[in-house]
């Protein structure tokens, strides 16, 4: 089951699965707000829990790294984020700058703070052993909420719609480049074959 360390209003779990279950429980029982900075996650249970809370009127503010969209479950993740972002009291933003946006923190109802050392991915939760810190302290929770709100205004953290539009344009650009290269290769090959046939015909 892993180690459990408790002291006053602090609890540390060393069992990733158990910690993840606790995270889901706290999200699904939230009443007012959930602020998240999550580097990388692909657990559909987490996305569904956020969506259910949002539909129940809980404010959701989420920042994630673009790598979540590039994982093997990227297409499913994208659809989940689209569903979440259209709920009126939810906002999803994406780090699209250089380097990694490696923060992992969840603040619930201005009181509960969760800091996992693991990513919310199937591999991390099911295969690795990491710590997860839970503590209840409204003063620190409010400071973290304020920090996340400030991050929302950073230039490299863009709205989900802006990120997806830019990503679509980049994909089209890459696709066009690949088509041009393929055409160049085919044209060169065809030209070489024609030159060879002409050479053979004149012998």
Note whether residue 105 is domain-resident.
yes
Query: Residue 43's pLDDT is what?
Result: 83
Query: Residue 111's pLDDT is what?
Result: 94
Note whether residue 146 is domain-resident.
yes
How many structural domains compose the chain?
1
Find the CATH number of the domain harbouring 123: 3.30.870.10
Put the strands of the sheet holding 10-13 in their side by side order. 4-7, 10-13, 132-136, 112-116, 104-108, 33-38, 59-65, 90-95, 157-159
**pLDDT, tens only, 1-10:** 556 667 778 8
- The pTM of this model reads 0.75
Note whether residue 112 is domain-resident.
yes
Query: Residue 61's pLDDT is what?
Result: 92
pLDDT band at 73 (very low <50, low <70, confident <90, very high): confident
Note whether residue 203 is domain-resident.
no
The token pair at 47 is: 């996305």
Note whether residue 191 is domain-resident.
no
> Taking all residues of the chain, what is their mean pLDDT, rounded to a whole number?
81
Query: Residue 19's pLDDT is what?
Result: 92
Domain span including residue 148: 4-158
Note whether residue 116 is domain-resident.
yes
């Amino acid at each position: 089951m892993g180690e459990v360390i408790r002291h006053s209003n602090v609890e540390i779990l060393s069992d990733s699965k158990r910690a993840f279950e606790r995270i889901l429980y706290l999200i699904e029982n939230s009443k007012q707000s959930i602020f998240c900075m999550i580097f990388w996650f692909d657990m559909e249970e987490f996305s569904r829990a956020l969506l259910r809370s949002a539909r129940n009127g809980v404010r959701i503010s989420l920042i994630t790294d673009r790598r979540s969209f590039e994982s093997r479950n990227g297409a499913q993740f994208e659809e989940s984020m689209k569903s979440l972002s259209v709920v009126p009291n939810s906002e999803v933003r994406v780090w699209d700058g250089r380097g990694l946006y490696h923060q992992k923190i969840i603040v619930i109802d201005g009181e509960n703070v969760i800091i996992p050392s693991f990513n919310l991915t199937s591999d991390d939760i099911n295969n690795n052993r990491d710590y997860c810190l839970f503590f209840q302290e409204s003063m620190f929770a409010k400071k973290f909420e304020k920090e996340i709100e400030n991050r929302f205004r950073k230039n490299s953290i863009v709205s989900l719609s802006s990120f997806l539009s830019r990503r679509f344009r980049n994909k089209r650009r890459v696709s066009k480049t690949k088509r041009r290269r393929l055409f160049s290769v085919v044209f060169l090959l065809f030209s070489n074959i024609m030159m060879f046939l002409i050479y053979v015909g004149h012998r």
